[in-house]
């Protein structure tokens, strides 16, 4: 553990310097890690763990695209790829990486195989925190732990392959064996995390739902669509509106923010652009929106909305319709053309 200064606040974090892969291998040397679910997080975490030398098996329902994807990724039926129940039985660590709605449905199956000393691992605090809604209450004699990579499983894998790493939070909800902490940190390192910061299950789910409904997914599309519409209503072409709203942000500005921070990005803009955040501060307008959002997450309303939507039998079909509407909107169709015109995509 290393104590570091984050903007004046001391935090204790874990990096690969204090907890190298060799130590993770030692901690997990007798474990079979059963990754349950081969959706988005499942492949990212399982492949990184496998490439890092851990003993990993997959639990996935048959006759599905995810099963076929697992086979294509080199998991071998009846050796390293099993039906969910069989994998739960074989694993000493059960990584519960089904969708949150899938976790509710499969909980009785997983529960049956949580024998004393095993570890139940989540990548989201949802199931445990909203236990009144999910029914997920683990027995007292297993470790209950969490590693939540801060990003898509696809990015987790891509960054790992590129020799980089997504940061992850980690938490111990229940330490039955006295080894929960070393197990969870070893797994966090094993899945290819950049650095690990500690949280608890409640804080993880509250920050995650606020983040994805806020800046990461909800607010960003709302801001894009509103600005695009205003520019279009005022007679700007799709090309101008899209470039001014999305392309400039993703291609030019966010990479600069990622590299050296917002102040550095501003310092590398025109003097007129530099005035924008100071002449027209958006913070005061946005603060109440985010405060209300957090309250809705903390009181469970947002979780209930998700469970209700995700549990519908036609969820996938509805999602496809919603995504198609977004994809076919003028703004994202304009985006498809703009992407084609990027020099690296031509020829």
Ligand X SMILES: NC(=O)c1ccc[n+]([C@@H]2O[C@H](COP(=O)([O-])OP(=O)(O)OC[C@H]3O[C@@H](n4cnc5c(N)ncnc54)[C@H](OP(=O)(O)O)[C@@H]3O)[C@@H](O)[C@H]2O)c1
Among 14, 54, 57, 123, binds ligand X (CB under 6 A): 123
Q: Is 190 in the site for ligand X (CB under 6 A)?
A: no
CB 299 within 8 Å of CB 293 = no
Q: Is 146 in the site for ligand X (CB under 6 A)?
A: no
Q: Is 206 in the site for ligand X (CB under 6 A)?
A: no
Mark the segment that binds ligand X (CB under 6 A) among 46-54, 62-70, 74-82, 330-338. Answer: 62-70
* Closer residue to ligand X (CB): 19 or 121: 121
Q: In angstroms, give the least distance from the CB of 97 to ligand X.
A: 4
Among 38, 121, 195, 242, binds ligand X (CB under 6 A): 38
Among 153, 165, 188, 192, binds ligand X (CB under 6 A): 153
* Closer residue to ligand X (CB): 129 or 174: 129
Q: Does an H or E element contain 288, and which? A: helix 283-298
CB 2 within 8 Å of CB 12 = yes
Q: What is the dihedral of CA 245, 322, 339, 226, to 10 degrees?
A: -10
Q: Report the distance separating Cα 345 and Cα 340, nearest Å.
A: 6
Q: Is 165 in the site for ligand X (CB under 6 A)?
A: no
Cβ contacts of 210 within 8 Å, gap of 6 or more: 290, 293, 294, 297
| Whether 124 is catalytic | yes
* Closer residue to ligand X (CB): 158 or 179: 158
Q: Is 100 in the site for ligand X (CB under 6 A)?
A: yes
* Closer residue to ligand X (CB): 108 or 178: 108
Q: Is 148 in the site for ligand X (CB under 6 A)?
A: yes
Q: Is 48 in the site for ligand X (CB under 6 A)?
A: no
* Closer residue to ligand X (CB): 81 or 265: 81
Mark the segment that binds ligand X (CB under 6 A) among 39-47, 86-94, 280-288, 317-325. Answer: 39-47
* Closer residue to ligand X (CB): 121 or 228: 121
Among 14, 94, 97, 241, binds ligand X (CB under 6 A): 97
Residue of 81, 92, 77, 86 lying closest to 42 (CA atoms):
81
Q: In angstroms, give the least distance from the CB of 335 to ligand X.
A: 22
Q: Secondary structure of 22-53 in the HEC alphabet?
A: HHHHHHCCCCCEEEECCCCHHHHHHHHHHHCC
Pull the structure tokens for residue 330.
């003028």
Residue nearest ligand X by beta-carbon distance: 39
CB 35 within 8 Å of CB 60 = no
CB 61 within 8 Å of CB 83 = yes
Cβ contacts of 93 within 8 Å, gap of 6 or more: 28, 31, 32, 33, 34, 118, 119, 121, 183, 187
Characterize the bridge pairing of strands 81-82 and 56-59.
parallel
CA-to-CA separations, 254 to 195, 336, 343, in angstroms, rounded: 21, 19, 19
DSSP assignments along 48-94, one per residue: HHHHTT--EEEE--SSSHHHHHHHHTT--BTTTEE-HHHHHHH-SEE
Among 149, 188, 192, 335, binds ligand X (CB under 6 A): 149
Among 60, 169, 210, 245, binds ligand X (CB under 6 A): 60
Among 39, 53, 139, 211, binds ligand X (CB under 6 A): 39
Q: Which of 50, 113, 118, 124 is catalytic?
A: 124
- How many residues of this chain bind ligand X (CB under 6 A)? 24
Interface residues with ligand X (CB under 6 A) are 37-42, 60-61, 64-66, 97-100, 102, 105-106, 123-124, 148-149, 152-153
Please list the active-site residues.
124
């Amino acid at each position: 553990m290393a104590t570091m200064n984050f903007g004046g606040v001391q935090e204790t974090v874990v990096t690969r310097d204090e907890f190298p892969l060799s130590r993770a291998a030692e901690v997990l040397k007798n474990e079979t890690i059963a990754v349950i679910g081969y959706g988005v997080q499942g492949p990212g975490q399982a492949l990184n763990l496998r490439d890092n030398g851990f003993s990993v098996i997959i639990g996935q329902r048959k006759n599905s695209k995810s099963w076929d994807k697992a086979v294509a990724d080199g998991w071998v039926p009846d050796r390293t790829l099993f039906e969910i129940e069989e994998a739960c039985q074989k694993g000493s660590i059960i990584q519960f990486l089904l969708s949150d709605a899938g976790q509710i449905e499969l909980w009785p199956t997983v529960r049956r195989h949580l024998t004393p000393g095993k570890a139940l691992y989540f990548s989201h605090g949802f199931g445990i925190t909203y236990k009144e809604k999910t029914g997920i209450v683990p027995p007292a004699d297993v470790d209950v732990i969490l590693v939540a990579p801060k990003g898509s499983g696809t990015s987790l894998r891509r960054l790992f392959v590129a020799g980089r790493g997504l940061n992850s939070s980690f938490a111990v909800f229940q330490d039955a064996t006295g080894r929960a902490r070393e197990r969870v940190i070893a797994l966090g390192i094993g899945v290819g995390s950049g650095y690990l910061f500690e949280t608890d299950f409640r804080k993880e789910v509250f920050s995650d739902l606020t983040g994805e409904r806020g800046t990461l997914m909800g607010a960003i599309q709302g801001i894009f669509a509103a600005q695009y519409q205003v520019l279009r209503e005022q007679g700007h072409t799709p090309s101008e509106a899209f470039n001014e709203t999305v392309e400039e942000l993703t291609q030019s500005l966010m990479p600069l923010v990622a590299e050296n921070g917002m102040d550095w990005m501003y310092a590398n803009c025109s003097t007129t652009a530099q005035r924008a955040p100071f002449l027209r501060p958006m913070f005061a307008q946005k603060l109440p929106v985010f405060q209300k959002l957090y309250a809705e997450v903390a009181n469970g309303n947002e979780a209930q909305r998700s469970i209700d939507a995700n549990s519908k039998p036609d969820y996938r079909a509805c999602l496809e319709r919603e995504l198609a509407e977004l994809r076919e909107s003028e703004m994202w169709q304009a985006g498809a053309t703009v992407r084609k015109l990027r020099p690296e995509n031509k020829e």
